[in-house]
A and B are shown apart, each in its own frame.
Chain A
Amino acid sequence: MIPWLLLLPLPLPVLASVDKTFGVSPDLVSRYVPLASGNWKCLDGSKEIPWSFVNDDSCDCPDGSDEPGTGACPNGKFYCQNKGHIGASIVSSRVNDGICEPECCDGSDEQPGVCKNVCKEGAKIRSTYIAFAHKEKKRLEDLVESTTQQIEVQEKEVARLKDIADRTESISKAAMEHKQQSPLYLSLIEHSEALKALQREHKKHLEREKALGDILNTLRSGYNPNYQDMAVLEAVRGWEELAGLPHIGEAEKQEESSETAGESEAESDKETPKEDETPEEVWTAEKLETDLDPLLNTDYVSLLLEHDEHIRTPHDEGSLLFDVTSYLPDSFIPQFEEFKDTLVSWLRTLGVIRGEGDSVSADSTRARQAFTDAERALQRLKDENKKAGEDLAEIFNIHGFGAEGEWKKLDGTCLRTDSGDYTYELCFFEEAKQIPKHGGTTFSLGRFESWNPSEDVKPGEPEYYKKQVYKHGTRCWNGPERNVVLLLTCGTENALLTVAELEKCEYQFTGTTPALCLPLNEKSARDEL
C-alpha cells in the first residue's frame, strides 16, 4: 500500500516530498545537498538532475544514486538506520518488496506499518554481555593480584630448596659417576633407548594407518554405488570388513529402521577400540598408550640409587644423619647443612663412612625433587598470573573481545548446527569442527585466527565483528587446509544458521548473536542529524 499515491487524482501532482536523505548511509549524507542551481549531481558525476528528482521513486541517475530510499533504481543500496542497533545496507531490490529484511531491524525497508521494529531486543542481551565482561575483569584483576602475592612467597621457597638440593648434590657427584658404570644401569639405559626408538617407529605407523583409514573412509562415504566399479566396491567392502564398519548402504537402512539401532551402533563404535584388548596381557594397547611415556621418563639415576639401597638393606651407618634434615625445622636447615658438611668430611677422613655415600645420593635426589616441585608450582602460578593478565588485556581489546568486552561472554561457547550428514560445531574463539553423524572422523575446520581481516575494515568498527576467521583445520585430501569464515549478524540468540562449503575446504558459516546488536550511541545519533 502506498497511501499517498492512492489518494491522488489524475493527473498526479508532484509527490509530497520524501526525505531526500532517506536511505542514505551516514558517510554519504553530506553529499545529499542541492547545488546552488537547485540541481543535484549524481554521485558518479555523470548527470545533473533537479533536486526534486532525488528519492522521487523514479530512476534518473545511471548509477542509481538519486533513489537511495526507494527501489526505483536497480543495483542501488538502501541504508537502514536501525536505531538501537548497527545500521545496515541492503540492495535496492529489497526495498518495498513486501518482505521485512532481517538486516533492517527497524523495518524502514518497507512502507510504514508493514514491518515491526525489532532492534531493541538484541541490545538488551548485549548489555548483559558487557556486564559479564566487567565482572570477568574484576575477577581476573583479583586473580592477578592474589597470584602475584603467591609468586613472591613461592619464589623465596624455591630459592631455599635450590640451596638444599645444590648442597646435597655437591657431595655425591663423584660417587654417581662410578655407579653409572654399573652394567645393570647401562643395560637399562640401552633398553630404554631401544624402547623409545620402538615407540617412535610405532607412532609413525599409527599415523600412517590413520591416514590410510581416512582416505578409505572418504572413499567409502563418497563413492557412487551406481557406478558399479568393482575395484572400488571391493576396496570399500574390504575396508569395511577390516575396520569392522557396517556396509555403508546397510548402515543407513539400519538407522532408518529404528532409533535403538542407531544407539547400539554408537555403542559398538565405542567398543571397537577395545576389541584388540587381550586380558592376559599386562601391557594392553591402552596401557601402552597411557603408561609408556611415564615409564620412559623414569629418573634412572634415582632408580640406580634406590636399587643400590634396596640390595643393601637394612640401612647401615649414616642413614639417620642424612635423613635428619627431614626432622629439622626449616630455619635450622642451613646451619644444619653446614654442620653436616663439616661432620661428613670429618667422618670421611676418619674412614667412618665412604665418600661416595649411597644415602647421600638418595637424599640429594629427594632434595632435587622438592626443589623441582616447588619450581613447577611457581611456574604454574606465574602462568596463571600471566594468563589472567593477558585475558584481562583481551577483554577490552578491540582485537579481542571488543572495546566493551561484549564478546567475552561467548569465549568458548559452542554452537552447533546439522547439515546433511554432518553436525558442525563452532566454539567461539576456539575451534570449528565437522562431526559426522554416522561415524567417521571428526575434522577440525580450523582454529580461531582473527576478526575480519579485510584491510578495508577498521578494527573496532561494528563491521569488524561481523566476520571471524578460523584457520589451519585438517588438511583436505589432496587439497588445502580447511578454513572457516563465520559471518555474524545481530540476533537475539546465539545460533549457527547455515553452513556451506563455498569452495573446496573453504567453509562459510552464518550465524546470529546478540553481541552484535549495538545500542544507539552518541556517534550514530549525531549521524542522524
Chain B
Amino acid sequence: MRSLTYLSLLLVVPQTLALKAHDFKTCSQSGFCRRGRALSARAREAGEKWISPYTVDPSSIAIASHQATFTAGVKSSLYPEIKFGLELRVHDDGVVRVRMDELGGLRKRYDEAASWALISEPVISKDIKWTAGKKDIRAVYGAKKENEVVVTFAPLRVALLRGGKEQVVLNGQGLLHMEHFRTKTPEVTHTEEPEPKEGEEIVEDEAQVVVKSENPRAWFEGDKEDDWWEETFSSWTDTKPKGPESLSLDINFPNHGTIYGIPQHATRLALPTTAGESPFFSDPYRLYNADVFEYLASSSMSIYGSIPVLHAHSAESTVGIFDAVASETWIDVAHASEKSTETHWISESGILDVFLMPGPTPNDIFRQYARLTGTTVLPAQWSLGYHQCRWNYVSSDDVRAVQKRFDEEDIPVDVFWLDIEYSEEHKYFIWDKKNFPDPVDMVNDVAALGRKMVVIVDPHLKRTSDYPVYKKASELGYLVKNKNNDEYEGWCWSGSSAWMDFFNPGVWDWWISLFKTQKLENGWSWTESTEAVHIWNDMNEPSVFNGPEITMPKDNIHHGGWEHRDVHNVNGMLYSNLTSQAVARRSDPPKRPFVLTRAFYAGSQRFGAMWTGDNLGTWEHMAVGVKIVLSLNIGGFSYAGSDVGGFFGNPEPEMLVRWYQVGAFAPFFRAHAHIDAKRREPFLLDQPYKGIVRDILRLRYSLLPVWYTAFRETSVTGFPVLRPHYVVFPKDQAGFDIDDQYYIGASGLLVKPITEKGATETKVYLAEDQVYYDYFNHHAYRGAAKGKEITVPAALHQIPLFIRGGSIIPTRERPRRATTSMKKDPFTLRVALDKTGTARGELYLDDGETYGHEKGQFVWRELVAEKPVKKARSVRIASKDLGLRRPGEAVEGVALTAFDPGNAFAKSIGDVRVEKVVVLGLNAKPTGVRVEGGGDLVWEYTPGVAAGEKKEGTASVLSIKDPKVLVTKDWAIVIEW
C-alpha cells in the first residue's frame, strides 16, 4: 500500500505540483532562438561547404599606440554595405576581450552590459603586441610565450591557443551572425506574385523576395522573415520596434571535453548536452532571469539569475569565457568528440563583447574572472550564521515567540526574517501596524540578544498615492515606462504596481536616502527601522504576475531609451547593488550590508548573497540545490544557498534533517517555507530529530572561523568558497563529473551532504594518496593517487565530513545563541597530520561588521605543524603572522603596504586564546608537550593509526588541554616522542 501511494504520488506530482511550463518559452517559441538554431541546422547540413560570410578587411586594421589593442572593419558578404567594427584588447593578465558592433547603423546596439558587470575598465597590457600578417593578426604572450591569439581574416575567426593547441575558437563553425538594424518594409507576402518595387535605393531590401529568383541570403539567413518585427507568445505581443537585432556566435573548445558554469540552471555541475547526437536536454540553456514557479529539478530552462561565464576543462588545462550580454541568451552545448565542446550562443540584442580567459588552471580562471567582475563580498560575519525565515512570521509577538523558543531549546540562530506580509498592503517599508504595532521595539528585542532581522523590500511599488515611495518615484519619473513611454503598470504582490528604474542615475541617491533610519529634512525615510534591519530583494527578475513569462514586456523603456529586452538580465543586479549601498550607508562610517537577491548577473557577487529561489520540498530539489550552489561558486558567486526544507511542501523529519545538513555546508544558510506550509522551525521537531538539528546548527557555528577564513580568501582571490572536485584536482579525469561532494575553501574540509532518503552509508571519492580523517570519530581513511572510493557511514545523525591530511582546522566549540556572543570565545585547533607528518591552516578574524579590515584592522594567522630540522621525533605546531608577511593580499580592494599586529581590533581580542589542540595521526605517544619558551602542558593521548601508516582505522589522538596561547600572537607548541 505504501509503495502504491508513493507510486501514485509520483504520477500525480508532475501534473499538480510541476511548473506551468506553458508560461515560459521554449527555443522554438522564441523568434531569435528559432532563427539561431535554424542557422546552426543549415550549417550542419552544408557541412564542409559552409563558410562564414564575415571577413576582416585587412586594410582597416589599426593597432593602438600601446599595441595591445587593435581595431578592424568587418564585412558580411550578405550585406556588403553594412559596416561592422571589430576590436580586440589583451589585458595585462592575458585575458582577451573581443568586441564587435555595427558601425553607423540605423540604431545603436546596447553596449553597456559590461559596464554594469565590470568593477572597472580592465588594464590593457603594456607588453603584448599585435602583429598583422596577410591572412591574420596575432599576439604571442605569457611567461613562456605559451599563449597566442590569432584573428584570421577570411572568414573571421578568433582563436586563443596555448602551447600551440587551440583553447577557444570564436566563429570556428561559422555561426557568427549580427543581425543589423533595418527599416521595416511593408508587409511582405511570400506569394508567387513577384512584387516589383520602385525603391531600389533601399539597401535593406531583404524583405523584397523575388520569388522566382533565389534569395541570395537564404543559404545563411533562411528564406523568410521569422518573427522579425513582431512576436506573439500566449496572449502577449512584443512589438519589437527595432526589428531583428539578434547575435549568434559559436564558441568552440576543441580540446576541452567538460564544461561548467552559465548558472543558473537546475542541472548537474558538468553541463549535459543540448545539441548534437541524442542531447540530454532538448532546449538550449537559457539565460533570461525569470520567476519560475515550482521549477523543475532537472532542466535547461532559465531560472532567477544569469551569469554568462563558462569554464571549459580538461586534464591538461582550463579555459574560460565571459560573454557580457544582458539580453535573453540561449546556449546550445554539444560534444563533437569526447575531448571537445561546441557551444552556440544566441542573444536577442546587444553588441558582441566576449572575454577569453586563458587559465590555464581553474584557479587562474577564478582570478581572471574576479579581476573583471569582482569577488564575492566578505560578508558581515553574523550573516554566516543561521537564518530563520518563513512566509510569514505574522506579528511582532510571533517573532518574539520564535526567538524565545530558539533560546529555550538553546538552538543557535542569528537572523529572523520577515517576508512580504509585514507590510501594509505590500507597500514595502510600511509596517502593517495591526500585526506589527511596535516594529522598532521588536527589532530591538531581537538585537538585544545580538541578533539581526532581514526584511523584504521588493522592486515593485504599489500604485497608490498614500504610499510615499511610489508617490515620489512617480512624480520624479523614476519608474520604468511602457512602450508608449507612460508609467508601466503591472501586477505583483501589491496589486497594481510600478517598477523602479535603477538605470536612471537620479534614482540612486534617492533610493539610498529611503533606508536612512533617521528623519530626513526633505523626503520620506524609513524611520521605523534600525541598523539591525537588513534587506531581502526578491522578485527582481523582475517578476510581474501578468507579464509575458511572468516578467516585464520586452518593449518597456528604461532610462536612456533602452528597451527592457536590452537590459533584462542586468536589471536585478542594479537593484541589489543600490540596496546594498543604501544599507551600508545608513551608518557613518558604513557597516557591511547584508542583501539577499534572487535575480543576479555577473558582478552580483559584490553586493551580497543569493539563494536558489522557490525550490520544492523534494529529495530531487535538495540534491540539485547542492549542484546549483556549486555552479554559482564556479560562476564567481560564492555566497549562495538553497532554502532549507524546500519552499513548497511539508518535508518529513528525515528530509528536514538532511536539508539542515545541506544548508550547514552551504555558504548561505537559511530555512524558509511557503505560507501554506506547516511551521517547521527546528524547535518544533520531535526527538531525535530536534537534537540532531541542534547539533548540526552548533557544528555550523563551531566552524564559522573556517567559513569566515574561506570568505576572506574568496574576497581577495576569487577562488570559490565551495570547491568541487575538479577545482582541487584539475588533472583527475575521474573527478570531473563529481558534484555531490566538495571542499570548503582551502581549509581541507571535505563534505558530502546526503540528499537521498533512507541512506545509512555513502561513497566518497578520494582523489589522492593521502589520509582523510572523519571529522567526528577520527577514523583515518586512505585515498589513492589513481583515485579511490571509500564507503562511509551516513545514518541520519551522521554527516560525511572529513579533514584532509595536512590541514589545521580552527573552530570555536562553545555553543552560543548567536555569532555576536562568540567574539571573545577561545579556539580549538584540529591538527590533522598528513602522510609526512605536517599540516597547515589559516585563521582570519576581524570585527565582522565594519570596513575596518580595509584599514588593517584584522588578525590573519598561519597555523603550521612542521618537523623541526634538528629533532626527528617531534612536531612543532606554530602560529605565524600572515598579515605581517603578506599585507598586500590580506583584504579585498586595497593593497595594504604594511600591517600592524597590534591594531585596535587585535587588541580587542588580545585575551582570546586557544583552549584546546587536538593532533590527529601522531606516530607515538609523546614524551613531552610544552609551549616553546614556557612550561609543560597537560595532555591526553589515545593510541591509534598514525598519519604515515598505510592502515585505516581510528587515528591516534593527542588532546592538549588549554595551552593558553593567544590567537593574536606568535607561539609554538612542541610535541616530542
Evaluate contact between B395 and A419: CB separation under 8 angstroms.
Answer: yes
B931 at interface by CB-CB < 8 Å = yes
Cα separation A72 to B825 with both chains bound (whole Å): 9
Asked if B680 is an interface residue, CB under 8 A from chain A, the answer is no
Q: Is the interface of B mostly helix, strand, loop or mixed?
A: loop
Q: Are A420 and B934 in touch, CB under 8 angstroms?
A: no
Please state if A93 and B934 are interface contacts (CB–CB under 8 Å): no
Closest Cβ neighbor of B930 among chain A residues:
A11
Contact A255–B814 (Cβ < 8 Å): no
Q: Determine the distance from Cα of A75 to Cα of B698 in the docked complex, in whole angstroms.
A: 12
Stretch at the interface among A56-64, A307-315, A348-356: A56-64
- The B-contacting residues of A in range 222-271, CB under 8 angstroms, are 224, 252, 255-256
B364 to chain A, nearest CB (A): 41
The chain A residue sitting closest to B825, CB to CB, is A71
Stretch from B147-155, B477-485, B964-972 forming part of the interface with A: B964-972
A61-81 near B? 1/0 per residue, CB < 8 Å: 000000000011011000000
Those of B807-829 within 8 Å (CB) of chain A: 813-817, 820-821, 823-826
- For residue B424, CB closer than 8 A to chain A, the reply is yes
Q: Which residues of A contact B398 (CB under 8 A)?
A: 419-420
**Quick check: is A295 within 8 A (CB to CB) of the other chain?**
no
Task: Check: A521 CB closer than 8 A to any chain B CB.
Answer: no
Q: Is the interface of A mostly helix, strand, loop or mixed?
A: loop
- Tell me if B434 and A99 are in contact (CB < 8 A): no
Query: Is B913 in contact with chain A by the CB < 8 A criterion?
Result: yes
Does any Cβ of B come within 8 Å of A1's Cβ?
yes
CA distance A252 to B915 in the complex (A): 57
Asked if B401 CB lies within 8 Å of chain A CBs, one says yes
B824 touches A12 (CB 8 A): no
Let me know if A6 and B964 touch, CB within 8 A: no
Beyond A10-B933, A420-B394, is A256–B434 a contact (Cβ under 8 Å)? yes
The docked-state distance in angstroms from the alpha carbon of A96 to that of B913 is: 15
Q: A93-B816, A98-B820 are in contact. Are A11 and B397 (CB under 8 A)?
A: no
- Complex: A97 Cα to B969 Cα, angstroms: 23
Chain A residues within an 8 Å CB radius of B910: 6
Task: Kindly provide the distance from the CB of B470 to the nearest chain A CB, expressed in whole angstroms.
Answer: 17
Chain B hits for A74, CB < 8 A: 698, 813-815
Question: Can you name the residue of chain A whose Cβ is closest to the Cβ of B964?
Answer: A12
The contact of B676 among A1, A10, A91, A224, by CB within 8 Å, is: A224
Q: Bound state CA distance, A8 and B815, in angstroms?
A: 26
Pairwise interchain contact A418-B397, C-beta atoms closer than 8 A = yes
B449 to A99, Cβ gap below 8 A?
Answer: yes
Name the CB-closest residue of B to A5. B911
Assess the A420–B435 pair: CB atoms within 8 A: yes
CB of A500 closer than 8 Å to a CB of B = yes
Docked complex Cα distance between A60 and B962 (Å) = 10
Please state if A58 and B397 are interface contacts (CB–CB under 8 Å): no
Is the beta-carbon distance between B410 and A72 smaller than 8 angstroms? no
B401 touches which of A11, A71, A98, A500 (Cβ 8 Å): A500
Which single member of B815, B911, B915, B966 contacts A58 (CB below 8 Å)?
A: B915
Give, as a whole number of angstroms, the nearest-CB distance from A256 to chain B.
7
A499 is an interface residue with CB less than 8 A from chain B: yes
The answer on a CB contact under 8 Å between A97 and B434 is: no
Q: Which residues does chain A contribute within 8 Å of B880, judged by CB atoms?
A: none
A94 at the interface (CB under 8 A from B): yes
Q: Cβ of A2 < 8 Å from any Cβ of B? A: yes
Once the chains are docked, how many angstroms separate the CA of A58 from the CA of B961? 7
Whether B404 sits at the interface, judged by CB under 8 Å, is yes
| CB of B240 within 8 Å of the partner chain | no
Residues 944-972 of chain B, each 1 if its beta carbon lies under 8 Å from chain A, else 0: 00000000000000000110111001010
Please encode chain B, from 715 to 728, with 1 for each CB lying within 8 Å of some chain A CB and 0 for all others.
Answer: 00000000000000
Q: Counting CB contacts under 8 A, is B400 at the interface? A: yes
Give the distance in Å from the alpha carbon of A99 to the alpha carbon of B935 in the complex: 35
Point out the residues of chain A lying under 8 angstroms from B814, CB to CB: 71-72, 74, 93
A2 and B817 within 8 A (CB): no
Is B344 positioned at the interface, with any CB of A under 8 Å from its CB?
A: no
Q: Is the CB of B915 within 8 A of A72?
A: yes
User: What 6 A-B pairs are tightest by C-beta distance, nearest first?
Assistant: A11-B934, A97-B821, A58-B962, A12-B964, A5-B911, A419-B397
Residues of A within 8 A of B (CB): 1-2, 5-6, 8, 10-12, 56-58, 60, 71-72, 74-75, 91, 93-94, 96-99, 224, 252, 255-256, 417-420, 498-500, 510
Can you pick out 29 interface pairs between chain A and chain B where the beta carbons lie within 8 Å of each other? A2-B911, A5-B911, A6-B910, A10-B934, A11-B934, A12-B964, A56-B962, A57-B826, A60-B961, A71-B825, A74-B698, A74-B813, A74-B815, A91-B410, A93-B814, A93-B815, A94-B817, A97-B450, A97-B816, A98-B450, A98-B821, A252-B434, A256-B434, A418-B397, A420-B397, A420-B435, A498-B400, A498-B401, A499-B401
List residues of B whose CB falls within 8 A of some A CB: 394-395, 397-398, 400-401, 404-405, 410, 424-425, 434-435, 437, 448-450, 676, 698, 813-817, 820-821, 823-826, 910-911, 913, 915-916, 931, 933-935, 961-962, 964-966, 969, 971
